[in-house]
Amino acid sequence: KAGVTQTPRYLIKTRGQQVTLSCSPISGHRSVSWYQQTPGQGLQFLFEYFSETQRNKGNFPGRFSGRQFSNSRSEMNVSTLELGDSALYLCASSLTTGTYEQYFGPGTRLTVT
Amino acid sequence: DAKTTQPNSMESNEEEPVHLPCNHSTISGTDYIHWYRQLPSQGPEYVIHGLTSNVNNRMASLAIAEDRKSSTLILHRATLRDAAVYYCVSLFTSGTYKYIFGTGTRLKVLA
């Protein structure tokens, strides 16, 4: 069974631009969560989508948004990029929302210059 | 939200058991404890999870204190491939589900 895939793997953007990251969950998984990982703040929960609806949200500004499609694939968008948005963005899928274990993708490394 | 506290780093000899501690004194009665590990240049990998009682699987064991204020991840025989950052994660369940990752323990396994 194929794992979680994320595209692109690496991205360089300029401050003020916007970016869209993509995540394809494991087949049959309906929940997709997004995380930001930085050396200073560690792994922080961004949001979770289940059945095309945002179910949970972390403490991030409205510049961070996402959506989920009917095939469970998910996209994350960051508008008006700031230097502090440079991070590894991880996507994780699970069978459903709740206490189930999550399976993480390799991440997208975003660098904002 | 419940927070978890872990030592920054630990060392173990190969083939010996490893006990990785986690403090989660602010956890609520319905918050699960999960453990994940992250190898270099990879996303985190699920290890084990539990609520109140001790849990075992093929990778590790999880011992949860009776008052649930702490837990210990036990690797029965450490190998070089177990060298990773281990995260103790509280699954905040009050109304919604939200993973709160700790700062992680970097485990070094000595040959």
Q: Residue A113, SS3? A: coil
Most confident range, picked from A7-16, A43-52, B47-56, B67-76 = A7-16
In this structure, of A100-109, B72-81, B84-93, the range with the lowest mean pLDDT score is B84-93
Task: Identify the residue among B30, B92, B97 best suited for mutation to test binding to A, counting A beta carbons within 10 A and taking the highest.
Answer: B97
Per-residue model confidence (pLDDT) at position A32? 96
Q: What is the pLDDT of residues A3-17, one digit of tens each?
A: 999 999 999 999 999
Among A6, A29, A43, the residue to mutate for chain B (most B Cβ within 10 A): A43
Distance CA B78, CA B18 (A): 7
Note whether A90 contacts B: Cβ–Cβ < 8 A. yes
pLDDT tier for residue A50 given thresholds of 50, 70 and 90: very high
Decide the pairing of beta strands A103-104 and B98-101. Answer: unpaired
Cross-chain Cβ contact B43/A106 below 8 Å: yes
| Cβ-Cβ contacts under 8 Å, B100 against chain A | 45
How many beta carbons lie within 10 A of that of residue A63, not counting itself?
A: 13
- Mean pLDDT over B19-48 rounds to 90
- Tokens 């699960």 correspond to B32
pLDDT in tens, A60-76: 999 999 999 999 999 99
Pair of tokens at residue A100: 């189930």
- Whether the per-residue pLDDT at B94 is higher than 70: the answer is no
Residue B95's pLDDT is 62
* Contact list, B45 vs chain A (CB under 8 Å): 104
| Residues A89/A97, Cβ–Cβ less than 8 Å | no
The secondary structure of A21-62, three-state, reads: EEEECCCCCCEEEEEEEECCCEEEEEEEEECCEEEEECCCCC
One-letter amino acid at B91 equals: L
Integer-rounded Cα radius of gyration of chain B:
13
Give the pLDDT confidence score for residue B56 in this predicted structure.
92
